[in-house]
Structure 1
Amino acid sequence: MSRDGSFDRKALRKSLRKARISLSSEQQYSAEIAVAHQLNQSEFIHQSTTIAGYLANDGEVSLSSFITAQWQHQGPYKRHITLPVIHPVNKGHLLMLAYTPTTQMTENKYGIVEPEVACNHIHLISDHSVILMPLVGFDRQGNRLGMGGGYYDRTLSNIRNAPIRPKLVGVAHDCQEVSQLPVQSWDVPLDAIVTPSRILHFKND
């Protein structure tokens, strides 16, 4: 193992990615519906107006049913959905762009579909009530293991100590839980994790 724990993270990432990719299409769909239900019943979604989601890739839990429900939401305030887009200028960072049924989409360098960049569709991180993030692994201390690119950690690094900030929520299959993740100083901890079976809340004040 290297001094910074990178070997542990690499091995964990490989094992956990294999676990979620191995899930059948029926298991994936069941997870999608269950996570949508968990989110739709949660207090933090009830209080939200702008929510960052993602389009599933590599066996991640799909948010398609949840996003569709937000587009159809009837309430005193309209709910806005955004998706992460690789920043075209600020290397290694993300932008959050509005996502609707008519949004023009394109593929990024990883082959992941994302909204086409349009300045008038950008939402600041601080505009969001909740940011839903995919992950490769998690533990019960609120730590998140991502794909290794560091995009979310860089993008969210400036809001860690902000007095008012979005709620950071990881979304995962139950099989992605580990007892303890190796943590780096730049890792941004989560406020909650949603799986098909439960919601875990953490205090990261």
Structure 2
Amino acid sequence: MESLHRDDEKRTLRRFLRRQRQALSEHEQRLAAQRLCHQLKALPEIRRAKRISLYLPVNGEIDPTPLIEWLRKRRVEVYLPVLRPFSANVLWFVAYQRDTPMVRNRFNIWEPDMRFSAQRQNRLPAWALDTLIVPLVGYDANANRMGMGGGFYDRSLAFMHRPGPSPNLIGVAHACQQVASLPVEPWDVPLTAVVSDQGYVRRTR
């Protein structure tokens, strides 16, 4: 019963936080994206990265894509997440260029079109990346992340629960998505930091 109650609380909080970000105007979204990218450029994990993934925003998610041109000027390889076929809720990461053929996935999100052999040849597992910039619905001061509930990143990054080298995980969000605290589940993959349009928080434990 306690678990069911907590699940209900999480669903309610997700709905509230999604409404918060969806209520932002187009101008507020553009301004937030510019400020976010200014914050990201100063982060050592971003400045050191050679292979980095980010995402194309939907449903009011903060937009990290203004960072792409800056990354390319620094000769950083940019990747996007792609739903892995025949594997439930797991992601591949595929190289993204200006001319990359794109297609909408089952969630209506644009991703590189894996029907092209060049795309299949340019895919990597998460462990091969330096840094992942990941979306979230909510976060707290200890960089705990609330995702959409599908578990895509948690499953794709489950290897990080084992000893060995791991990529940096940078959550990004609007500042209005920060909450006092979030429950942590055993399967949650810890973030390195969360960056918003107004600053950042780092994991302290």
TM over 0.5: yes
The residue type paired with residue 33 of structure 2 is E
C-alpha distance in structure 2 between counterparts of 1:113 and 1:179, whole Å: 33
Question: In structure 2, which of residues 91, 99, 120 is the aligned counterpart of residue 94 of structure 1?
Answer: 91
Mapped pair 1:41 → 2:42: yes
- Matches of residues 110-121 of structure 1 in structure 2 within 5 Å? 110-117=107-114, 118-121=119-122
SS in 2 for 1:168: strand
C-alpha distance in structure 2 between counterparts of 1:10 and 1:53, whole Å: 25
CA drift at 1:163: 2.6
Mapped pair 1:84 → 2:85: no
Aligned residue number for residue 169 of structure 1: 170
The residue type paired with residue 3 of structure 1 is S
Q: Which has the higher mean CA deviation after the structures are superposed, 112-121 or 9-18?
A: 112-121
CA drift at 1:146: 0.8
Aligned residue number for residue 32 of structure 2: 31
C-alpha distance in structure 1 between counterparts of 2:39 and 2:143, whole Å: 18
Aligned residue number for residue 149 of structure 1: 150
Task: Judge conservation of contact 2:54–2:65 (CA < 8 Å) in 1.
Answer: no
- Matches of residues 98-137 of structure 1 in structure 2 within 5 Å? 98-117=95-114, 118-137=119-138
SS in 1 for 2:66: helix
Report the number of matched residues.
Answer: 200
C-alpha distance in structure 1 between counterparts of 2:155 and 2:126, whole Å: 12
C-alpha distance in structure 1 between counterparts of 2:130 and 2:149, whole Å: 25
Cα root mean square deviation, aligned: 1.3
SS in 2 for 1:148: coil
C-alpha distance in structure 2 between counterparts of 1:105 and 1:52, whole Å: 16
Task: Judge conservation of contact 1:71–1:100 (CA < 8 Å) in 2.
Answer: no
CA drift at 1:183: 2.3
SS in 2 for 1:3: helix
Unaligned ranges ≥5, structure 2: none
The residue type paired with residue 98 of structure 1 is A
Q: Which has the higher mean CA deviation after the structures are superposed, 15-24 or 37-46?
A: 37-46
CA drift at 1:64: 1.7
TM-score normalized by structure 1? 0.93
Q: Which runs of 4+ in 1 moved over 3 A?
A: none
Unaligned ranges ≥5, structure 1: none
Q: Which has the higher mean CA deviation after the structures are superposed, 161-170 or 88-97?
A: 161-170
The residue type paired with residue 72 of structure 1 is K
SS in 2 for 1:12: helix
CA offsets per residue over residues 135-184 of structure 1, 9 Å max, x none? 00001122111111110011101123333110011000000001111222
C-alpha distance in structure 2 between counterparts of 1:176 and 1:13, whole Å: 10
The residue type paired with residue 162 of structure 2 is N
The residue type paired with residue 99 of structure 1 is Y
Task: Judge conservation of contact 1:8–1:182 (CA < 8 Å) in 2.
Answer: no
Q: Percent identity?
A: 34
Task: Judge conservation of contact 2:130–2:167 (CA < 8 Å) in 1.
Answer: yes
